[in-house]
Amino acid sequence: GQSLEQPSEVTAVEGAIVQINCTYQTSGFYGLSWYQQHDGGAPTFLSYNALDGLEETGRFSSFLSRSDSYGYLLLQELQMKDSASYFCALPGGNTGKLIFGQGTTLQVKP
């Protein structure tokens, strides 16, 4: 089967950098995705890593280490609007499935 683990909560201050970790177990690996969800809203796609290394998209970056079954989402120059839940997710290749972790709630304080 597939499973993912993330911290349940992270707190940081405005302007700081925060890292949200994700470890996973899967028999077949097809990359790691990250989604953001504001309270009561729809999840929105942030990034995807298929290969080892860092992918940067503006203030957000995502890192993957396939040998360690580990990835993280890095948020820089935190803003109050970044307060949300962040989910890592495992795509299932040709099955089309996407298996989500339980999410990390980020609280950004002034």
CB of 59 to another protein, least distance (A): 19
CB of 77 to another protein, least distance (A): 24
CB of 51 to another protein, least distance (A): 13
Beta strand extents in the chain (DSSP E only): 3-5, 9-13, 18-25, 32-37, 44-49, 53-57, 60-65, 70-75, 84-91, 98-100, 104-109
Summarize as ranges the residues that interact with another protein (CB under 8 A). Answer: 8, 30-31, 33, 40-45, 48, 87, 89, 91-92, 95-103
Q: 36 forms bridges with which residues in the sheet?
A: 44, 86
Nearer to another protein, 15 or 57 (CB): 57
**What is the per-residue burial (b if ≥16 Cβ within 10 Å, else e) of 78-96?**
beeebbbbbbbbbbeeeee
Nearer to another protein, 15 or 41 (CB): 41
Nearer to another protein, 72 or 87 (CB): 87
